[in-house]
Amino acid sequence: MLRLNPMNSSFNKFLTFKTILTVLVIIVFSTNFLLTERVHALSDSKQLVLDAWTLVNEGFYDPEKFDEINWKRIRQKTLQKQIETSEEAYFAIENMLRPLEDPYTRILRPKDYELLKSSNFGSEINGVGLQLGEDDDSNKVKVVSTLGGSPAEEAGIVSGDFIEKVDGISSEELGLANTASKLRGESGTKVLVEISSESGEIKEVDLERRSVDLRPVRTKRLREDSHTIGYLRITQFSESVPKKVEEALQELKEKEVEGLILDLRNNSGGLVSSGIAVADSLLSEKPIVETKNRNGIKDAITSQKETSYDGPMVTLVNKGTASASEILAGSLQDNGRSILMGDQTYGKGLIQSLKSLGENSGVAITVASYLTPKGNNIQGQGITPDKLLDLPEASEYGSAEDKWVRNAELFLDSFLEKEEVSIQTPEISNEEI
Positions marked active-site:
323, 334, 348
Identity of the residue numbered 91 = F
Q: Given phi > 0 = left and psi -120 to 50 = alpha, else beta, which region is 246? A: alpha
Write out the H or E segment, with its range, that includes residue 324: helix 324-334
Residue 338: strand, helix, or coil: coil
Q: Measured between alpha carbons, how far is 211 from 123 in angstroms, rounded to an integer?
A: 10
Per the CB < 8 A criterion, the answer to whether 275 and 237 are in contact is yes
Residue 292: strand, helix, or coil: strand
User: Any idea of the CA torsion for 377, 379, 381, 387, to the nearest 10 degrees?
Assistant: 70
Which residue, among 131, 139, 141, has the nearest Cα to 164 in the 3D structure?
A: 141
Which residue, among 345, 336, 332, 338, has the nearest Cα to 388 in the 3D structure?
A: 345
Strands (E), 357-406: 362-371, 387-388
Q: Measured between alpha carbons, how far is 392 from 105 in angstroms, rounded to an integer?
A: 35
Residue 376: strand, helix, or coil: coil
> Exposed, middle or buried, 280 (CB in 10 Å: 0-12/13-18/19+)?
buried
All residues at 6 or more sequence positions from 70 whose CB lies less than 8 Å from its CB, including other chains: none
Residue 131: strand, helix, or coil: strand
